[in-house]
Amino acid sequence: MAYVAVKGGERAIDNAHAWLAADRRGDPAVPDLGLAQIREQLGRAIDRVMAEGSLYDRDLAALAIKQSQGDLIEAAFLLRAYRTTLPRFAHSEPVDTAAMAVRRRVSAVFKDLPGGQVLGPTYDYTHRLLDFTLAAGTAPPAPATAPATGAPMQRVNDFLRHEGLIEPDAPADATPGDITRQPLTFPAPRDVRLQALARGDEGFLLGLGYSTQRGYGGNHPFAGEIRVGEVTVEIEPAELGFAIDIGEITLTECQMVNQFKGSKTQPPQFTRGYGLAFGHAERKTMSMALVDRAMRAEELGEDVTAPAQNVEFVLYHSDNIEGTGFVEHLKLPHYVDFQSELETIRRMRAEADAGKEAAE
């Protein structure tokens, strides 16, 4: 028998999975990585996986990171697939970031302001030198502490709003859309756009945000404020009739302040781009705020010319779970379609040859 059709797909898959598990574990002489270690020591990875996986659970994120060998898109995918099966008991009241227990808060538009500039735990001014004491596992010195003031730290935008210099918040009485339950349709309102950006790929948003700074849909941004800290999450069960505290989550919020010369209907004022994400995610929220503002071009009567201003383009391509699935699906067999292309090309070549012969 010259040819035997390929068989054994099931066994191949089982074997592949067993090999993957061994590969994941690595050298068994090295101690197994504990979830608590990942949770406590790879915090920024946890934050990114929670944001892009749209699920706030540090322990599950740690498991996903372990299971995916640190492939953060794969980890976010694991969280998403788990999240989609969870029953929904309630939705939260809007969180109040003005009441955030701030760990870090910087504003680029004022030298000083009530509440002060709070550097907090930041890489900003670290010199990027590999720290070999970390390799040695040396315990860090204890950071300085100060008693909490307990006073809420007002948002920078609220200072600008008193003078009417910045556009007001949109009324928040409407129920926001839910992109995990309803397909995107266009024109997409801002609540839906922000939701998509909040779970969008950090790298994609970084590239788009960067492109606006280099002239592709620029809008002269200032980092009005970036704040990181804990906020309380509340739900209002129907049977209670009042809101109850169910815990706290870490959020990063970025308010970009942008130039606006005014239009026929609006006086000159600053406009806003907004970013919010789970965890400590400054790069993500700053990029998000730039892209949010860029996508408001049409609403503000600006020309829509750059990729970051094209709402359909941004929203359809910001999700890395969708993107990775479709890019990687090219690995799947396509030989039936390839065969049809082969036949078409052979036919066209034969016709071209026949044409040449006829001409000779």
Partner 1 sequence: MSTMEGYNFAYLDEQTKRMIRRALLKAVAIPGHQIPFGSREMPLPYGWGTGGIQVTAAVLGPQDVLKVIDQGADDTTNAVSIRRFFARTAGVATTTDTEAASVIQTRHRIPEKPLREDQIIVYQVPQPEPLSRLEPSRAETRRMHALAEYGLMHVKLYEDITRFGHVAISYDYPVMVNGRHLMAPSPIPAFDNPKMHHMAALQLFGAGREKRLYAIPPYTSVVSLDFDDHPFRTTRAPHACGLCGATDSYLDEVVTDDQGGRLYVCSDTDHCETRREAGHTGSESPLQEAAQ
Q: Before 187, cis peptide (omega within 30)?
A: yes
Q: Does 344 bind partner 1 (CB under 8 A)?
A: yes
Cα–Cα separations (whole angstroms), residue 201 to 98, 288, 320: 26, 10, 5
How far is residue 152's CA from residue 155's CA, in Å, rounded to a whole number? Answer: 9
Which one, 49 or 231, has the nearer CB to partner 1?
A: 49
β-bridge mates for residue 250, sequence order: 230
Distance, in Å, from the CA atom of 34 to the CA atom of 323, rounded to the nearest integer, reads 30
Give SS3 for 255.
strand
138 versus 344: smaller Cβ distance to partner 1: 344
Query: Cβ 5 to partner 1, closest distance in Å?
Result: 6
For 107-141, give the secondary structure using H, E and C: CCCCCCCCCCCECCCCCCCCCCCCCHHHHCCCCCC
Please enumerate in sequence order all residues whose Cβ is within 8 A of that of 230, keeping only pairs 6 or more positions apart, or say none.
100, 101, 103, 248, 249, 250, 251
**163 to 192, contacts with partner 1 by CB under 8 A?**
180-187
In angstroms, what is the minimal distance from the CB of 342 to partner 1? 7
Strands 271-278 and 221-235, how do they pair?
A: unpaired
Shortest CB 186 distance to partner 1, Å: 4
Query: What is the closest distance, in whole angstroms, from the C-beta atom of residue 24 to partner 1 in the complex?
Result: 14
Residues 11 to 30: which contact partner 1 by CB under 8 A?
A: 12-13
Q: Does 324 bind partner 1 (CB under 8 A)?
A: yes
CB of 58 to partner 1, least distance (A): 20
Evaluate whether 51 touches 80 at the Cβ level (below 8 Å). no
Dihedrals phi, psi of 288, to nearest 5 degrees: -60, -40
81 contributes a contact to partner 1 by CB under 8 A: yes
| Lookup: tokens for 181 | 């339950």
Sheet holding 221-235, edge to edge: 101-106, 221-235, 244-258, 271-278
Q: How far is the CB of 51 from partner 1 (least distance, A)?
A: 15
Tell me: does residue 83 bind partner 1 (CB under 8 A): yes
- Pick from 128, 151, 326, 359: which binds partner 1 (CB under 8 A)? 326
Other Cβ atoms within 10 Å of 284 Cβ, number: 29
Q: Does 337 bind partner 1 (CB under 8 A)?
A: yes
For residues 270 and 341, what is the distance between their CA atoms, to the nearest angstrom? 55
- The residue within the footprint of partner 1, chosen from 244, 299, 340, 353 (CB under 8 A), is 340
CB of 31 to partner 1, least distance (A): 25
Question: Binding residue for partner 1 (CB under 8 A) from 329, 356, 359, 360?
Answer: 329
Nearer to partner 1, 212 or 320 (CB): 320
C-beta closer to partner 1: residue 22 or 146: 22
Q: Please report, as residue ranges, which positions from 149 to 168 form the binding site for partner 1 (by CB under 8 A).
A: none
Residue type (1 letter), 301: G
Q: Which residue from 32, 335, 356, 358 is in contact with partner 1, where contact means CB under 8 A?
A: 335
Which residue's CB is nearer to partner 1, number 117 or number 324? 324
Select from 69, 84, 92, 305 the one that contacts partner 1 (CB under 8 A).
Answer: 84
| Residues contributing to the site for partner 1 (CB under 8 A) | 1-3, 5-10, 12-13, 77, 80-81, 83-85, 87, 180-187, 312, 316, 321-322, 324-329, 332-337, 339-344, 347-348, 351
